[in-house]
Amino acid sequence: MTEDNNMSAVVAVHALEQLSRFLNEKGVLEIVLRGEGQKIKQIVKVAIDKLPQEKAVNQQMFNKLMNALQNANIMGQMNLAANAVNNAIGMKSLKMLASITKLNQFNLFLSGVNLCATVVGFALVVDKLNHMSAKIDEVFKAVKSAQMSHIQLELDTVLANHRNMLYVRENNEPYSKNDMRKLADDETNILNMLISVFLDSSVIDESLLVSIYSLASMLAISVMYCDEAYYFSSKEQSSGGNKWHPSHAAWMAVFDRILSDEFVMRIQDYGMLELGLNTEETDLYYKSLCAQIVGLKEEIENNQALIQAFDDKESFKKYRELLEMDVRETVMQIFESAGISTDDPEIANALNQAFAQIAVV
C-alpha cells in the first residue's frame, strides 16, 4: 500500500480476518490495481478461503457438537450401531474417517442405523439406495443366477414395506405382529442374498456393501419391533412357551454372517487392495464396520432385556417416551452448558431435524 494524501489512513493488516470488514455483499474482496497516472487499470476480485477465525469457530462448534452428542448418549434405544461405532473408534478416528475421501458412502454407514427407525430418516436412506439401485442391478446381472435377477424387485418391495411400517407406527396405528414378522423374514432373506452376492463376486461393489449395512440396520429395527409385538402378545394370550418368535435365531444369524471371517476378509481386501487405504485406515474401516454390526446385535439384546424387565406393554411404551424426552432435554442442557445457544434458529432447526431423524420428538 502506498500513502496518498487523498486516501484515508493506511490500514495495516497482519491477519486475514482483518480483511473481513472489507468484503462486499458477496463476500468478495475487490482490489483496485492502478496503472500510469494513478488511473484504475483493473479491479481484481479476490475470494478469501474460510477465514481462520471462522474455520476455528466451525471446528470448535464441530467439536462441541460431537462431544455433546457423545455425552448425551443420544444414541439410545432407537439409535443403534452409531453409538457402538463412536465408542469404538473415538473422536480422533472420526476425524481420520472424514479424511478418507474415498469412503464417500461411509456417512451412510454411520448414520443409516438410526435413520432406519423413522420415516423422515428412512427416506434419506432409501433416496441414497435408489440412486445406487442401478449399480446394484449391474452387480446382480454379473452374477449369473436366475434367483438373483429377482433381488432388485424384492429389495424395492422390502424398502416400501419398511417405510410403510414406520409410517403406521409413527401414526400410532396398529401394525400386526404377523406383518412385522413377515417384514423381518423378508429383510432377512434379501440380506442373505445380498451377502451371498457380495461373497461370490470377484469384484467388490461399494453400493452392494452400503445396501448390506443399510438392510442390516433395517432388520435390526424390525427385529426389535417384532420382539416387542410378539412378547407382549404372547403374554396377553398367556400362551407361555417361547418369549420370542421362533425365527429370532434365523434373524440374528444373518448378523453373524456379516461378522464371519469370510465376510470380514472381503472387507479387509476391499479397503487394502481396492480402495488403496493404508493399513491404519483399513483397520479403522473394517473394525468400524464390524463394530456397527456388533452394536446392532447388542441393541436387539438390550431391547429384549428391557422388554422383559418392564414386562408390561404400556410401561415399556411409557419408558420409551420418557427416554426420548430425557434424551432431548439432556442434549439441550449439554449444548447450553457448552455455550451453544439452542435459541439460535439455525442450531435449533438442525437439532430438530436430527431429533426427527432419530425419533426423538
Residues that bind other proteins (CB under 8 A): 265, 268-269, 272-273, 278-280, 282-283
At 89, list the grid cell.
Answer: 473408534
Q: Between 25 and 261, name the residue whose CB sits nearer to other proteins.
A: 261
Contacts of 67 (CB under 8 A, 6+ apart): 91, 338
Q: Is 181 helix (H, G, I), strand (E, B) or coil?
A: helix
Nearest to 210 by CA among 124, 105, 113: 105
Asked if 357 and 107 count as a contact pair (C-beta separation under 8 A), the reply is no
As a whole number of angstroms, the distance between CA 89 and CA 107 comes to 14
Q: Which is nearer to other proteins, 272 or 338 (CB)?
A: 272
> Nearest approach, Cβ of 197 to other proteins (angstroms)?
20
Q: Which residue lies nearer to other proteins by CB, 185 or 269? A: 269
Query: Which residue, chain included where needed, has cell 402378545?
Result: 233
Sole residue written with cell 490500514:
11
* Contacts of 184 by beta carbon, 8 Å cutoff, 6+ apart: 219, 222, 223, 226, 245, 247, 251
Burial of 27 (0-12, 13-18, 19+ CB in 10 A): exposed
Give the nearer residue to other proteins in terms of CB position, either 185 or 283: 283
User: Whole-angstrom Cα distance, residue 286 to residue 278?
Assistant: 12
Using the minimum distance from each CB to other proteins, give the nearer residue, 282 or 292: 282
Cβ count within 10 A of residue 336 = 13
The residue among 26 and 144 lying less far from other proteins, judged by its C-beta, is 144
Q: How far apart are CA 212 and CA 223, in angstroms?
A: 16
For residue 159, the minimal CB distance to other proteins (Å) is: 34
Nearest CA among 303, 355, 293, 294 for reference residue 329: 355
Tell me whether residue 128 or residue 287 sits nearer to other proteins (CB atom): 287
Backbone conformation region of residue 315, classed left if phi is above 0, alpha if psi is from -120 to 50, else beta: alpha
Q: Read off φ and ψ for residue 243, nearest 5 degrees.
A: -75, -35
Q: What DSSP string describes 261-284?
A: HHHHHHHHHIIIIIS---HHHHHH
**CB 263, min distance to other proteins, A:** 13
Q: Which is nearer to other proteins, 164 or 268 (CB)?
A: 268
Which residue lies nearer to other proteins by CB, 255 or 270? 270
